[in-house]
Amino acid sequence: MLELKSLTKTYHNGKENVCAVKGVSLEINGQDYLAIAGPSGSGKSTLLHMLGGLEVPTTGEVVFEGKNIYGFRDDELSAWRNRMVGFVFQFYHLIEELDVRENIAIASFNQKRDCASKKALELLKYLEIEDRKNFFPSQLSGGEKQRVAIARALINEPQIVLCDEPTGSLDKDSQDKVIGLLEKLNREMKKTVIIVTHNMELAKRADRILSIRGGEVKFD
């Protein structure tokens, strides 16, 4: 499904160049459950962002079904992200003024309002938080907020779900529940799930682990 070809990302910090990712190449198959593991500052989030079309690599390609996504025009790349990729972040990014169902539905791409609202409710049922549909973010626990964020990532029925430290702000019980949900998405909904984490216990639950240090892959 996805092939990374010699991806490099260099940032300019004054007179200094900082290479966050150094020539990473790998193949990701459809329905893979992959953990990208490494310490803070190792380049794992930068790699995930390039993989998902959020950050343009300095050199290299991200090839999806035979096409380099960074050869797309800006509008084509945005459309690809909306259709193909769902993002889950550490800090949820929910809109405080909207209730749970609205937070999910607002992320819908090219769906009518009623259809998006219905789909949001279906996802809440699937993620077992339907009873929170009329709650506001301030009324939710951290684990519940992350379930809402996962539902929002799924509203456009993406093939790939990218998760950047999705359990970093959660207690142990909530961590287990969120990871269990991601495993369920991979098994039952046949999603390709890629998770960035510094927690090796969580990484070991994935089918495949990519270890990254200093921007380089140490083992796969």
Kindly report, residue by residue over 37-54, the tens digit of the pLDDT: 998 889 999 999 999 999
Residue-wise pLDDT tens digits, 10-36:
998 878 888 999 999 999 999 999 999
Quick check: helix, strand or coil at residue 33?
Answer: strand
Q: Hey, what CATH class is 31-53+83-219 in? A: alpha beta
Cα separation values, 198 from 62, 180, 211, 219, Å: 24, 17, 10, 15
**Of 194, 196, 215, the residue nearest 31 (C-alpha):** 194
Q: Could you tell me how far CA 140 lies from the centroid of its own chain?
A: 21
Tokens matching residue 57: 């690599």
pTM of the shown model: 0.91
- Asked whether the predicted pLDDT for residue 61 surpasses 90, the reply is yes
Where exactly are the structural domains of the chain? 31-53+83-219
Residue-wise pLDDT tens digits, 78-100:
999 999 999 998 888 899 999 99
pLDDT the model gives residue 212: 93
- Asked whether the predicted pLDDT for residue 219 surpasses 80, the reply is no
- Asked whether the predicted pLDDT for residue 77 surpasses 90, the reply is yes
Residue-wise pLDDT tens digits, 170-189:
888 888 989 999 999 999 99
The residue-averaged pLDDT of 60-70 equals 95
Nearest-5° Cα angle at 119, 156 to 125: 115
DSSP alpha helices (H): ranges in 94-166?
Answer: 100-105, 113-126, 142-154
The β-bridge relationship of strands 160-164 and 192-197 is parallel
**Of 194, 182, 168, 207, the residue nearest 49 (C-alpha):** 194
Cβ-in-10-Å burial (0-12, 13-18, 19+) of 204 comes to exposed
Average pLDDT, the chain: 91
Tokens matching residue 104: 């999910």
* HSE value, Cβ hemisphere, 13 Å, CA-based, for 55: 18
Strand order in the sheet with 33-37: 85-88, 160-164, 192-197, 33-37, 208-213, 216-219
- Asked whether the predicted pLDDT for residue 1 surpasses 90, the reply is no
CB 84 within 8 A of CB 64: yes
Q: Which residues contact 41 (CB under 8 A, 6 or more apart)?
A: none
Q: Which residues contact 181 (CB under 8 A, 6 or more apart)?
A: 127, 147, 150
pLDDT level of residue 113 (50, 70, 90 thresholds)? confident
